[in-house]
Amino acid sequence: MSESNAMCDGSGPCVPGGRVRLLPLGSIPDHGNVILCRACFERELQYRRERNMELGADCQFKLPAWADCAIYGEQASPSAQV
């Protein structure tokens, strides 16, 4: 069993066959997302935390919680506008 996930946009190693969620790329809703498994999501957030230490207060990466990101491939919530 390879550590890959066909649904995930990340570079892996992934959670094989795991659920994937939409991580917003920017602060504008629906402006763009990447689809990531849990493992790639956590790596991306770790990267963002490290970058935030170097960035000014007015240009910080968002650090959404995994549970708050929309699940990809399942029914989306139309009221999710946060």
Residues in touch with Zn ion (CB under 5 A):
5, 8, 10, 14, 37, 40
DSSP letters, 54-77, are TS-GGGPPP---GGGSPBTTS---
Residue with smaller CB distance to Zn ion, 11 or 27: 11
CA distance from start to end of the chain: 37
Residue with smaller CB distance to Zn ion, 2 or 81: 2
Cβ atoms of 39 and 10 closer than 8 Å: yes
Residue with smaller CB distance to Zn ion, 2 or 79: 2
